[in-house]
Amino acid sequence: MRKIKNILLKIEYDGTNYRGWQRQASRELKGENDSLTVQEVIETALKDILKEKVSLISSGRTDAGVHAKSQYANFRAATSIPLNKMGMAINALLPSDIRVLSVRRVPDSFHSRYDVKTKVYRYVILNRKYCSVFLRQYVLHIPKPQLDVSVMQKESKVLIGRHDFKSFQASDKKVRGSIRTIKDISVKKSRGLILIDVEADGFLYNMVRNIVGTLIEVGRGKRPKNSLKNILLVRDRRCAGPTVPAKGLTLLKVRYKNDKT
């Protein structure tokens, strides 16, 4: 009898054509990318290879249109296929906008979601007159005015620490608690791009996109000094900025408690 293995995948994907990461309940695969989720596509490939149905457990869901440079997902299967060949076999069945970067066996106790220490998301803004043909699906283009990155960086620091982020939570989503801990946040300019990186122990729905929308208003001079501090305190979504488009957001890193990755 073959022993069941706990297998961890490191995955990257362009989320443009997908309805996010998570499999949709009670829905059959139809074959068109725009009706699928990333999880469904990978699970279908694994079923063809392993000849059994598997369920991927990811580090967390990403929403429709959001990309991932380092998503992790584990599954259990009784397979004799060498893991150094499994990645190539999976990729042969995947579309070109999803790739498995590594396959490895992890301890039976490892859980891709529950063992996460922090995650890092990056939002990218192209702040110049004309957009780029090659970047248009991965950035928010703001032609003018030039955003004041130094002010955005200074104001963003008030978000570091453990706070109630209800003001930056999507108003139509109900969760038990809105307290999260942001470990670090940075706003910097690099080669014409504004990169906003947020590392936290967890994220509310649309939390990063709402924070970025607020920081953009700060960078435009539309909000006064200490406005983010006041927005945190009022715990009212209506007081924060708009939700920016998903296409500028990427899951950049996942850090685990015991460095299993």
- Other C-beta atoms closer than 10 Å to the C-beta of 34 total 10
- Mean pLDDT score, 60-79: 95
Q: Is the pLDDT of residue 260 over 60?
A: no
Q: When comparing pLDDT for 141 and 175, which is higher?
A: 141
Note whether 5-114 and 117-255 share their fold. yes
Q: For 156-175, write each residue's pLDDT tens digit.
A: 999 999 999 999 998 766 66
pLDDT at 174: 65
81's CB contacts (< 8 A; 6+ apart) are: 49, 50, 89
Q: Report residue 257's pLDDT band, with 50, 70 and 90 as the boundaries.
A: confident
| Residues classed as catalytic | 63
Q: For 91-120, write each residue's pLDDT tens digit.
A: 999 999 999 999 999 999 999 999 999 999
- Mean pLDDT score, 136-157: 95
Q: For 189-213, write each residue's pLDDT tens digit.
A: 988 899 999 999 999 999 999 999 9
> What class does CATH assign to 5-114?
alpha beta
pLDDT at 202: 94
Q: Is the pLDDT of residue 33 over 70?
A: no
- Cis check: omega of the bond before 95, within 30 degrees of 0: no
pLDDT at 32: 45
pLDDT at 27: 52
> What class does CATH assign to 117-255?
alpha beta
Domain boundaries, the chain: 5-114, 117-255
